[in-house]
């Protein structure tokens, strides 16, 4: 008795399918490992430890009146207005324009308030999108902080 051996393609197709799938998974893992995954800031863990101080600064700021930040699209400016409760204090600090999606675009500038306790910040050269305006300031004794998210169009 002789059996006719027919060629079957299925074992080869299964092996080729499994090898292709494994190759795809390896390619996907390599691509995922090569992605640049940045934290929001480089010193995230040090900032997390000091977070209670940040909460205290925000509470002090809100107790005396929060800083008003108004984005004016037609003039491409941000108006920073400090409440009159700070008028008897000599304020110094920094204004940070923070871009959550790209830390290379962040900008810092000194807080320079006029007689009316306001500062006009020109933002025409900034990329369009989501920005956080952070205001850190001090009166020499206490530190204060305010933050607002704006959408530059």
Q: What is the mean pLDDT of each run of 10 residues along the chain (153 residues)?
A: 76 95 96 78 76 88 88 89 86 91 88 90 89 91 91 87
- Give the model's pLDDT for residue 43: 76
CA-nearest of 127, 83, 136 to 150 is: 127
Owner of token pair 């190759």: 23
What integer pLDDT is reported at residue 65 of this predicted model?
A: 86
**What's this model's pTM, rounded to 2 decimal places?**
0.65
Class at the top of the CATH hierarchy for domain 44-152 = mainly beta
**What is the per-residue pLDDT for 2?**
61
* Residue located via tokens 């008003």: 68
Cα(64)–Cα(89) distance, rounded to whole angstroms?
12
* pLDDT, position 39: 60
Question: Would you tell me how many other CB atoms lie within 10 Å of the CB of residue 147?
Answer: 17
- What is the reported pLDDT for 18? 97
Separation between Cα atoms, residue 43 and residue 120, nearest integer Å? 30
Helices and strands counted in the chain (H then E)? 3, 7
Report the pLDDT value the prediction gives residue 14, as an integer from 0 to 100. Answer: 96
């Amino acid at each position: 008795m002789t059996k006719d051996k027919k060629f079957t393609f299925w074992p080869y197709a299964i092996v080729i399918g499994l090898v292709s799938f494994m190759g795809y998974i390896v390619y996907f893992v390599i691509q995922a490992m090569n992605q640049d995954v940045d934290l929001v800031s480089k010193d995230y863990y040090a900032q997390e430890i000091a977070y209670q101080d940040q909460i205290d600064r925000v509470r002090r700021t809100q107790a005396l009146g929060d800083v008003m930040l108004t984005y004016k699209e037609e003039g491409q400016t941000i108006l920073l207005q400090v409440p009159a409760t700070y008028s008897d204090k000599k304020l110094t600090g920094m204004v940070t324009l923070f871009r959550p999606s790209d830390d290379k675009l962040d900008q810092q500038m000194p807080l320079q308030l006029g007689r009316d306790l306001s500062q006009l910040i020109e933002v025409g050269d900034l990329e369009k999108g989501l920005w956080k305006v952070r205001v850190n300031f001090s009166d020499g004794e206490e530190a204060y902080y305010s933050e607002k998210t704006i959408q530059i169009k």
